[in-house]
Amino acid sequence: MKLKVTKVKSTIGYNKKQGLVMQSLGLHKMNQVKIHDDNPVIRGMINKVSHLVKVEEID
């Protein structure tokens, strides 16, 4: 299974580490979408920035 991650909110005003997590997810611009494999590492990163992203499961 894969995860479709969309950036829906800016990292301005949030902790710098959250911005680094967003960069490592490959999300730089607003409404940018990246597809990632569903694994514990990606899930943990999404959990850290869950208030900044929208996540959908795809097959």
Q: What is the pTM of this model?
A: 0.90
Domain of 45, in residue numbers: 2-58
CATH number at residue 6: 3.30.1390.20
pLDDT of res. 37: 97
Question: How many distinct structural domains can be found in the chain?
Answer: 1
Cβ atoms 4, 55 nearer than 8 A: yes
CB atoms within 10 A of CB 36: 17
27 vs 31: CA distance, rounded Å:
9
pLDDT for 59: 85
The tens-digit pLDDT sequence of the chain (59 residues) is 999 999 999 999 999 999 999 999 999 999 999 999 999 999 999 999 999 999 999 98
Name beta bridge partners: 6.
33, 54
